């Protein structure tokens, strides 16, 4: 553990039961209902409710997409949204469930087609956590080895939006699907015709309209992070968040994370243009332009950042987690960043494998703390950090 962490909080280390994850000072375990076969978590919250979703895999090809809600100190019984042998199990392209402002829930998952490696999206809605799920969108474009995936779901105004990658043709496109507040499918269209083929998308609402962050692509193989804003389903001209000029003839499978509040937005991303780095940049005009990026990593990042807004409307304080190489394996790291004061000293949330098996850790705010989830060697692991114990931005 870094000396600054011990000095700030005192030494309070412990091992999660049955896990190799070493929790650091200020970090507490949170029990969850996912079993040892669970993989690739997603977190969403609404008020005091926290939602955790995951994939279960029995090792013989049968998979289930499940979720549970934590409220008033306890978890609900896990419920299955979809099950079967066609469900995709992929460390980078994973399903999600999202609370909607009207009390409904939206979910997406991926299913293999009959042909070769093709797979596509399923998007469904439920009027409440106990209700049946109604599928509103199913991919039909992918054939042969094509796919549609890397979905992000978000609500804005009276609609629900889903950003995703369409790799049904040789050049990957970014598409956005629109749904009514009742879950009725309206349309989907291309908003960027040339993007990186397998980096995650991210969506949030800023300035009353959705914005999407994603990794772009050019003919000369530059793959920098872009953003686009949406109004009435139409996208603005894509903008480069920060010109890294990362030229790589392959997809790095390392997409951005995005959060927004009012007119302000923050995006975090990995690049290896000159050396590996994780950056975070802020916008105060709903993603129209971003300020100079703030470096987040410790010098040996794996990337895979995830962002959560802290309840400080004046400072736009943002918690960011990411993976960093360690002497053995990797560390799941955390900083607090604000556009006014910069980044705090980092703390280690847990020691984790450096492999793909850890997936993409997620973070959200819930009540008076951060909740963090990732895939460990005993299934999904969840932990919390109280706001009072978060490091303060110092530079």
Which residues make Cβ contacts (< 8 Å) with residue 314, sequence separation at least 6? none
Q: Would 387 be classed as within a structural domain? A: yes
Domain-located, residue 312: yes
- Report if residue 237 sits inside a domain: no
Number of domains in the chain: 1
Which residue reads 């997603």 in tokens? 42
- Which single residue is written with the structure tokens 């804005």? 156
Q: DSSP secondary structure string, 338-383?
A: ETTTEEPPPEEEEEE-SSGGG---EEEEETTEEEEEEEEBTEEEEE
Residue 321 lies in a domain: yes
Whether residue 110 is contained in a domain is answered as no
Q: Is residue 392 part of a domain?
A: yes
Burial class (CB in 10 A: 0-12, 13-18, 19+), 201: buried
Residue-number span of the structural domain to which 347 is assigned: 1-30+306-395
Measured CA to CA in angstroms, residue 316 lies from 38, 118, 296, 346 at distances of 34, 41, 16, 18
Asked whether residue 380 is domain-assigned, the answer is: yes
**pLDDT string in tens for the chain (395-residue length):** 333 332 222 222 222 223 334 456 689 999 999 999 999 999 999 988 999 999 999 888 899 999 999 999 999 999 999 999 999 999 999 999 999 988 899 999 999 987 667 999 999 999 999 999 999 999 999 888 899 999 999 998 889 999 999 999 999 999 999 999 889 999 999 999 999 999 999 999 999 999 999 999 999 999 999 999 997 667 789 999 999 999 999 999 999 999 999 999 999 999 999 999 999 999 999 999 999 999 999 999 999 999 999 987 677 899 999 999 999 999 999 999 999 889 999 999 999 999 999 999 999 999 899 999 999 999 999 999 999 899 887 54
Residue 179 domain-assigned? no
pTM score:
0.92
């Amino acid at each position: 553990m870094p000396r600054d962490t011990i000095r700030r909080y005192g030494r309070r280390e412990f091992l999660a039961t049955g896990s190799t994850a070493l929790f650091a000072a200020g970090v507490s375990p949170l029990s969850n209902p996912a079993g040892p076969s669970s993989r690739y978590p997603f977190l969403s919250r609404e008020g005091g409710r926290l939602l955790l979703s995951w994939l279960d895999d029995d090792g013989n090809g049968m998979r289930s997409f499940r979720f549970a809600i934590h409220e008033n100190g306890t978890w609900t019984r896990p419920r299955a949204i979809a099950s079967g042998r066609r469900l995709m199990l992929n460390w980078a392209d994973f399903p999600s469930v999202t609370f909607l402002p009207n009390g409904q829930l939206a979910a997406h998952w991926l299913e293999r087609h009959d042909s070769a490696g093709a797979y596509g999206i399923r998007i469904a809605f439920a009027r409440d956590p106990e209700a049946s799920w109604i599928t509103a969108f199913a991919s039909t474009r992918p054939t042969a080895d094509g796919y549609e995936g890397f979905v992000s779901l978000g609500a804005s105004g009276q609609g629900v939006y889903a950003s995703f990658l369409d790799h049904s043709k040789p050049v990957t496109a970014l598409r956005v699907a629109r749904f009514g507040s009742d879950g009725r499918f309206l349309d989907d269209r291309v908003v960027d015709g040339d993007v990186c083929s397998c980096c995650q998308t991210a969506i949030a609402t800023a300035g009353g309209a959705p914005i999407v962050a994603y990794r772009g692509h050019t003919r000369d193989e530059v793959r920098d992070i872009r953003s686009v804003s949406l109004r009435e389903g139409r996208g603005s001209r894509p903008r480069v968040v920060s010109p890294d000029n990362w030229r790589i003839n392959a997809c790095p499978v390392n997409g951005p994370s995005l959060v927004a509040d009012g007119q302000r937005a923050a995006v975090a991303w990995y690049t290896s243009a000159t050396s590996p780095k994780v950056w975070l940049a802020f916008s105060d005009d709903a993603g129209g332009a971003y300020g100079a990026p703030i470096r987040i990593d410790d010098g040996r990042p794996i990337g895979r950042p995830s962002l959560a807004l802290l309840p400080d409307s004046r400072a736009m304080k943002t918690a960011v987690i990411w993976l960093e190489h360690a002497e053995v394996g990797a560390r799941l790291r955390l900083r607090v960043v604000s556009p006014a004061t910069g980044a705090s000293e980092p703390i280690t949330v847990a020691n984790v494998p450096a492999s793909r098996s850890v997936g993409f850790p997620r973070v959200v705010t819930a009540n008076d703390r951060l909740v963090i989830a990732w895939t460990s060697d005993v299934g999904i692991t969840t932990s919390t950090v109280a706001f009072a114990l978060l490091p303060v931005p110092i530079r």
